[in-house]
Amino acid sequence: MTDPTPTVTDPTPTDRTPTERITAALPGTSVVRIAGVGKTFGTESGGVRALEGIDLTIAQGEFVSLIGPSGCGKSTLLRLIGDLTAPTAGSIEVNGKPARRARLDRDYGMVFQAPVLMDWRTVAKNIELPLEVMGFAREERQKRSGELLKLVELEGFAGRHPWQLSGGMQQRVAIARALAFDPKLLLMDEPFGALDEMTRERMNLELMQIWQRTRTTVVFVTHSIPEAVFLSTRVVVMSARPGRIAKIVDIDLPQPRNVETREQERYFELVTEVREALRRREGGEGQLAPPDADRIRAEGLA
């Protein structure tokens, strides 16, 4: 990273305004560098190859979505980046460090499909949880949770408990918690997958606003094509068995994204492009999925 002070030890990590942070984020600086990564579950001969030959570089300030059929290893890839599991091949660097080092340096925030809030803590205390673990002083924690509650527009709910909130509100608390320590990278694993379509679209808009304000790099796993296209700067389309990157679609929709984005011609073109990339990988248009192609080539059948 170009930022010399690690976020965690930075005594005033919130002093930078969003604009300052955008200028601080040099375009082209890579936050995530994945090279030749593979993941096989189970060490026996019958191991399942979840991921194979993944190369991907994510730049500072990007919003990258991972999309693909179930079993394509998109969640596994996210967990590899977050060092929640280790790759069996290749290397992953986050902020120029091995993924494990980056985790220990608290470089990323995680958001899961379920909010995973602690029901004995108030909303504010849930947001402060990572700050408590990281040893922030009480005043600093309270200041920070206050700011984040404002960011996710839940100011009036600081003293409530998670179970008193709707599903969408709970997920906003989870996002605020992930952002609490100002991580350089936000990893989101189908964060809106459990929400209804209307809430989901609203959450998409809100996430866009949050992203535009914080300019945190986001890696976002989803199985919704419209969601991926609307949110992302790039969509990584993956194929299954073994999980590979099938295609990377650049989303050149203008920023900031808003309600009208979904009505643009270009938006529909991109949705179609992603959809076709997904369909091709299922072998729908007479094309063979890579493993079969490999086999045919290996056996000299072609």
Interatomic CA distance for residues 277 and 218, integer angstroms: 22
Sequence-ordered alpha helix ranges (H) in 195-302: 197-214, 225-231, 265-281, 290-298
Residues 218-247 that bind other proteins (CB under 8 A): none
CA atoms within 13 A on the CB side of 245: 20
Q: Is the distance from CB of 23 to CB of 50 less than 8 angstroms?
A: no
Q: Is the distance from CB of 193 to CB of 38 less than 8 angstroms?
A: no
Please, what is the minimum distance in Å from the beta carbon of residue 239 to other proteins?
A: 26
Tell which one of 104, 288, 293, 296 touches other proteins (CB under 8 A).
104
Please, what is the minimum distance in Å from the beta carbon of residue 199 to other proteins?
A: 11
Please, what is the minimum distance in Å from the beta carbon of residue 81 to other proteins?
A: 11
β-pairing, 30-41 with 48-59?
Answer: antiparallel
Please, what is the minimum distance in Å from the beta carbon of residue 292 to other proteins?
A: 35
Please, what is the minimum distance in Å from the beta carbon of residue 134 to other proteins?
A: 7
Number of shown-chain residues binding other proteins (CB under 8 A): 34
Please, what is the minimum distance in Å from the beta carbon of residue 54 to other proteins?
A: 21
Task: Extract the tokens encoding 210.
Answer: 């949050």
Would you mind telling me the total number of residues written for the chain in this entry? 302
Residues 109-168 that bind other proteins (CB under 8 A): 109-110, 112, 114, 116, 118-120, 122, 129-130, 132-134, 153-154, 156-157, 160-166
Q: Indicate the helix (H) or strand (E) that contains 19.
A: helix 18-24
Q: Is the distance from CB of 94 to CB of 31 less than 8 angstroms?
A: yes
Place of tokens 């527009």: 153
Tell which one of 74, 106, 141, 184 touches other proteins (CB under 8 A).
106
Closer to other proteins at the Cβ: 28 or 163? 163
Q: Indicate the helix (H) or strand (E) that contains 151.
A: helix 138-151
Residues 33-92 that bind other proteins (CB under 8 A): 82, 84
Residues 178-217 that bind other proteins (CB under 8 A): 181
- Residues forming contacts to other proteins in the complex (CB under 8 A) are 82, 84, 103-106, 108-110, 112, 114, 116, 118-120, 122, 129-130, 132-134, 153-154, 156-157, 160-166, 169, 181
